[in-house]
Structure 1
Amino acid sequence: MSFLVTGGAGYIGSHVVHALGEAGLDAVVVDDLSSGHADFVRDVPLIEGTILDTDLLRRSIVEHGVTVVVHLAGYKYAGVSVTRPLHTYEQNVAGTISLLNAMAAEGVDKIVFSSSAAVFGTPDVDLVTEETPTNPESPYGESKLIGEWLMRDQARATGLHHTSLRYFNVVGSAVDSLFDTSPHNLFPLVINALESGSTPHINGADYDTPDGTCVRDYVHVGDLAISHVAAAKALDEGRRLEPVYNLGSGEGVSVREIMDAFVKVTGNDFEPAIAPRRAGDPARIVASGEKAARDLDWKMRNTLTDMVQSAWQAAQSHRR
């Protein structure tokens, strides 16, 4: 018995593989390494290839005795997806269809799907719940919502056991050797700026929030990984889960608070530059994590300082 982690060489996926190992569970990774890193995968088999290759997935399932899939592979850059919609749909929709076909062909009927808060678009509520209407505003968000529909419809047709985990801004590191290398995410952007001697910036400081900067759910990648494993174990043990869960903080933090935490942690006494707002950035998106706390061992184990400290430490460890 093993757990197949698609995208397991990526930032989040590699943390899920690490958490599976910590739980004493065997894993196998399929990743095309388009944004993942082979050296993020240690002590488990790494099969290099695309999830669009259904035959490769079928062989991997059979050869490694896969019983549960944790599906994280996909193209995740929401902004870029606007200019690359067909690529986004190919990777995220066609890739998921390929995976579900491979699972059905080999009799695997349990899957945890890595979804996204991008399915909500710009909600007009203070606290997002699983019942908040979905209204994605990018091909990326649309592709994730379609992924949820694929799980739902395959469950109706074949009895697939599934759940989808929606999450927001993932940060920090649980292991120094695993870190965020995205060119679009806030923490790597701040760290790269500080290391290069430039000044980090904030996109807009005139929002209707306590300090004028956007408020978001920032969650630690290690906490996120634990709940992915909890979901996979629950399905493996035959427990019924909700079709979707929000892995939210319930409170959120502002971009200004993040900058202040970087000043405290790094000792770089900088004042962030204020840049113009980015189009489409809502003032606040924060979600409730109550259902996930009930069913998936979801909790905010790390403070904002912990998140920044772990991200900074992992980046410094990599540089040495």
Structure 2
Amino acid sequence: MKINVFGRKKALVATAKRQLLKALNYRDIAAINSLIGDWQRILGVEKLTDLIVNEVMVECDSDTHSWFCQIFLGQVQYEQMEEKAQSNIFQILVSNYLEPGKDFSSGPDRSIIISDRAKQVLLSQVPQEHQTAFESQLESSLVLDPVTAIEQLLGCAFFTNLTEIAIQQMELLSNSQAAAYLGVLLAGLVSRHPQLQDVDFPTRFIANALQELSQERAMAILNDPETNPQFDEMIIFGHLLAAMGDKEYHRIAEEEGGISLNQLKKLDLVWCGERRLSEMVAMMEKWHQNNS
């Protein structure tokens, strides 16, 4: 009688994988230790290690992956592994001509902030059969570039549009006005979305806004001595709405038109002054309810 050794080994590997995944999902340390001991004797250390690394772990969510590594490697080794993994990821991205600070950067707690382009590069490094599982891990373990995340929320190229508007304003405003405009605009954006500061968004935005000016004028704006810039927020609100594709943005400066409740809700997605605009939205909604 012939025995299909290959088929038997394949079935054993599948069983080991299923049992390990189940124990990992329950985070059952005793069961995991027992399974590793049992399957080492059956499959051998090398085969079991290959199974865990290349098949079991890629199907775990990022939290379970981190938990397993911390438990079985120890905190120090786990942190060293994370640092090495981050370094390897950065090397892959740089070798594919992506730019640090633009396409990817370090985030808080050893997370990685990446653009959509960087995400696609990382996915291309993974075998086709593991890409779906790896992509789900990327979604939960990596942090999207906040610029990308905000634009996805808004459904438009908000920051690209806003940069174009700012470039136009730099041509129209005096040096002191231009400095105040940039200062107030960026303060409101970062106040609403502090994560923009983590990726040095203000510096990049200013550099892009000033790119078409002469070096002398750009330096004059950058070196403006005013430490508490003031600028008409209604003008900025109009520009923010225009960048979001609002067709009625020009009406907020009209006495009869004014800013609508819907426009305030849009602005609250990107801007925060001394108080959140959502507070004003709530007040207006309450007024409408009381007077309807």
What is the TM-score with the length of structure 1 in the denominator? 0.22
**Larger strand fraction of residues:** 1
Structure of higher RCO (CA pairs closer than 8 Å, 6+ residues apart) = 1
Scaled by the length of structure 2, the TM-score of the pair is 0.24
Q: Which has the higher helix share?
A: 2
